Amino acid sequence: MIIDTHAHYDDDAFDEDREILLAGLQAAGIGTVVNIGASIDSTKTTLALAEKYPFIYAAVGVHPSETAELTEEKMRWLEEMCARPKVVAVGEIGLDYHWDEPEREVQKHWFREQIRLARRVDLPVVVHSRDAAKDTLDIIKEEKAAEAGGVIHCFSYGVEVAREYLDMGFYLGVGGVLTFKNAKKLREVVAYMPVDRLLLETDCPYMAPTPHRGERNSSMYLPLVVKAVGEIKGLSEEEVIAVTEANARRMYRL
């Protein structure tokens, strides 16, 4: 069954119908969801979802745009949370120079600290990197993040950068963007990369695939991404689901 490797079901966008939506996922072929923390608060709500639903796992961490809230004390709390049984990764962490807040030195500091945390607790990292290709790669290398392993989620760079991450053993997260008309660069990356390093993700409620672009996204739309991957890689939808499920289980150790 499909594994949604990156979702935010604790987001307000799901307040109206979260229970109904999640209850229907298995019947729609979505077997497992990894819900991703993006702040201290959303790490708490992510952990609560993972406790409530057997098929939901949790990543704990603070998104680059939220790193102004981090302190040594909050880092110690995150480290404690990493010991919870359904926590499978540290994330999402990284650099976001698109929004460019807080200042870059703050983002970089907490990116490094959260990679160090992942290495200490031996969990993979879920990396968010937007308009920050060089600095992300530099920090990943300097902090030896490859020893923790992980995924570059919503991969948005070209083949050259993809090669660097693939050479280090990282996975690349691919979602709704692959179905967009203007996604030539991502289609090239998917064509280039070995399919056994590709993870399916929604980043829901964001990034809904065509023809739902701009609407609220959910794992229910992942079959559209499966189809797009299959067309590029010359695989059946069943083959894409089987290989990406195995990839997600290997990376998150599910």
Instruction: Point out which span in 117-125, 137-145, 197-205, 240-248 binds Ni ion (CB under 5 A).
Output: 197-205
The count of chain residues that interact with Ni ion, using the rule CB under 5 A, is: 1
Q: Give Cβ neighbours of residue 228 (< 8 Å, ≥ 6 apart).
A: 178, 179, 209
User: Could you say which DSSP state residue 153 is in?
Assistant: T
Read off the tokens for 20.
């109904």
Among 48, 50, 17, 11, which residue's Cα sits nearest to residue 33?
A: 50
Q: Which residues in 92-112 are b (16+ Cβ under 10 Å) and which e?
A: bbbbbbeeeebeeeebbebbb
Q: Tokens 């599910």 label which residue?
A: 254
Residue 130 or 232 having the CB closest to Ni ion: 130
Closest CB to Ni ion: residue number:
203
CB of 156 to Ni ion, least distance (A): 12
User: 92 or 143, CB closer to Ni ion?
Assistant: 92
Burial class (CB in 10 A: 0-12, 13-18, 19+), 208: buried
- If binding is defined by CB under 5 A, does position 201 make contact with Ni ion? no
Choose one: 97-105, 195-203, 213-221, 240-248; the region binding Ni ion (CB under 5 A): 195-203
Closest distance to Ni ion from the beta carbon of 141 (Å): 23
Of 48-56, 164-172, 196-204, 239-247, which segment contacts Ni ion by CB under 5 A? Answer: 196-204
Measured CA to CA, the distance from residue 18 to residue 16 in angstroms comes to 6
Least CB distance to Ni ion at residue 8 (A): 6
Q: Between 96 and 203, name the residue whose CB sits nearer to Ni ion.
A: 203
One of 4, 10, 203, 245 touching Ni ion (CB under 5 A)? 203
Cβ proximity to Ni ion: between 5 and 179 the closer is 5
Tell me how far apart the alpha carbons of residues 144 and 16 are, in angstroms, rounded to a whole number: 42
Instruction: Please say whether the beta carbons of 37 and 6 come within 8 A.
Output: no
Nearer to Ni ion, 41 or 160 (CB): 41
Segment near Ni ion (CB under 5 A), from 25-33, 51-59, 184-192, 199-207? 199-207
Q: Which residues bind Ni ion (CB under 5 A)?
A: 203
